[in-house]
Amino acid sequence: MTLNDLLDGYLDGTLERNPHVATVLGVHKYDDELPSGTRASVEEEIDTARSLRDELNGTDGYEAELVRASLDYDLYEMDELRLWERDPQAADAVVSFVYPLYTRNFAPFHERVESIADRLEDVPGYLEESRERVVEPVDAWVETEKEACETVPGFLQLIADEAGGMERQDLAYRVSVACENTVDALDEHLEWLESLGTRSDWRIGRDALDELLARRCMPPSDEVLTLAEEEVEKANDALADAVEALGAEPTDAVDAVEHDRPEPDAVLDEYLGAAREARSFASSVVELPEEGVNVAETPEHIAPLVPDTAYLEPTPFGDETPAYYVTPPGDHPRAEIAGRAVTDLYPGEHLQKTFERASASNPVILAGRFNAFGDDFAEGWKGYVERLGVEHGYGDARYEAYVARNRLVAACRALVDIKLQTGEMTVRDAASYLADEAGVEGEEAVAEVRGYGREPGAQVSRLVGTRALLELCDGRDASFRSRLLEGGGVPVEFHRRRIGD
């Protein structure tokens, strides 16, 4: 069997077992299905991944090596760390099952609502199945799951209300009943959560964290920590310079940036103008492919889910036009508008995903879309292009302040991630650090930090990836950057190997 045959079969099976992921990737033949919630289904994923990895042993070439490394990361996370056994993350998942069907305009609304009804009708069974996965649940993660049980019903009510205005009242009624039954199932799930005995320790420790980072082709935790501490200092200096250029005192950094904002009725026009300027800048640093993105006001039925902006990326297997939605009453300082146009659109995430869609093979999709394996490139590209804008004189001091603050936040988050997992910080210490050093709001900081434990090392990606891309692309031209983007969302180290640097 050829490598392509092996990977085609594995990808098809993965999409079938994970229909909600298939929807996100533009495969819609499973839109009416849910994944299994059982413990056996997770073990099946592990066995299937191990079988493919074993079959790839002895197979040479970049693509085989890429998939094998991604599988090694998957297996370490799923079969050795086994955090899924301690995390009753099922109520949270309900939103991910329905959100892409509700927000993405790939089919008429009534067809998508029918698929929503199909999935919601299976949610009670999924919640019940998921409970058998949990062994020694972590108290903080149980609390997060309890919060989901209380917040998800609001999302379901939004769907039921919107469906209620449909011409097909039979379908509207079906969705309404499915939402009610799901809320009842969430109440039952909440009762089960409250009955659990829990453990307080969720840290994986330095050795396991270093192994996890190594399998993602990233440096060990001590090197990341040194980089983060250096970056905090440099980012603070850059922010002070930008604030001084704005004619403000360093203590007024937030006010200097936050208070300059357009009126709500002018917000969309400013985003459209910023997108045009960012695209013009992008054309000087990347060879632009044929692409497009619909920058528009957030549709009314989605607006409650989009406080500020939302990017709906091109899908590898679908053909819907990417969209960038703007909710005018949201938080839109001019510095953020100019910066988001670069980070989210040109030459940031939209351009990266556009290149990936045009050239990605199954190995790249498997390695870059099903786990965090390639997040150092996807996240690092955003940080890199922000810095590239400063280097090329894009924008003004407001843009420079936006970039400096993003640098600061990314460095602080990486530092906190490392110190939480190694026991050098408590959750309280970490939340206070984010609030004091990065300006993250108090309650938001606490919620953010609580989430770090579920995804150890995730906050390292932006910092490490940005630094790696700054080094890799130093002195390079638009052609080189385009070749880089053609490789898709895989670790920066694999981009080095692919282009022979």
Q: Which of 245, 258, 254, 307 is nearest to 436 (CA)?
A: 254
pLDDT score recorded for residue 252: 59
Q: Cβ contacts of residue 243 below 8 Å, gap of 6+?
A: 249, 250, 252, 253, 256, 257, 397, 401
Mean pLDDT of 188-215: 96
The chain-wide mean pLDDT, for the chain, equals: 94
Average pLDDT over residues 259-272: 94
Confidence of residue 491 (pLDDT cuts 50, 70, 90): very high
Contact of 370 with 434, CB cutoff 8 Å: no
pLDDT at 191 over 90: yes
Residue 417, C-beta contacts closer than 8 angstroms, at least 6 positions apart: 452, 456, 457, 458, 459, 460
- The amino acid occupying position 80 is E
How far is the C-alpha of 409 from the C-alpha of 418, rounded, in Å?
Answer: 14
Percent of the chain predicted with pLDDT > 90 = 87
Residue 251 pLDDT level (bands cut at 50, 70, 90): low
Q: Give the Cβ contact number of residue 43 at 10 Å.
A: 13
User: Which is nearest to 193 in space by CA: 241, 127, 240, 265?
Assistant: 127
| Residue among 226, 206, 224 at smallest CA distance from 420 | 206
Sign of CA dihedral 280, 282, 283, 288: negative
| Domain-wise residue ranges, the chain | 3-194, 207-261+334-499
pLDDT at 250 over 60: no
Average pLDDT over residues 407-426: 97
| pLDDT for the residue numbered 369 | 81
What is the pairing mode between strands 309-312 and 323-326?
Answer: antiparallel
pLDDT band at residue 243 using 50, 70 and 90 as cut-offs: confident
What local confidence, expressed as pLDDT, does residue 254 receive?
A: 62
Q: Assign 27 a pLDDT band (cuts: 50, 70, 90).
A: very high
DSSP letter at 325 equals: E
**Mind spelling out the 3-state secondary structure of 125-187?**
HHHHHHHHHCCCCEHHHHHHHHHHHHHHHHHHHHHHHHHHCCCCHHHHHHHHHHHHHHHHHHH
Query: DSSP letter string over 421-484?
Result: HTTSS-HHHHHHHHHHHH---HHHHHHHHHHHTTSTTGGGHHHHHHHHHHHHTTT--HHHHHHH
Q: What per-residue confidence (pLDDT) applies to 442?
A: 78
The CA distances from residue 238 to 71, 290, 385, 427, in Å, are 39, 35, 16, 28
The pLDDT value given to residue 370: 83
In this predicted structure, what is the pLDDT of residue 363? 86
Q: Which two tokens stand for residue 108?
A: 């008429």
Q: Report the alpha-carbon distance of residue 421 to residue 221 in Å, rounded.
A: 10
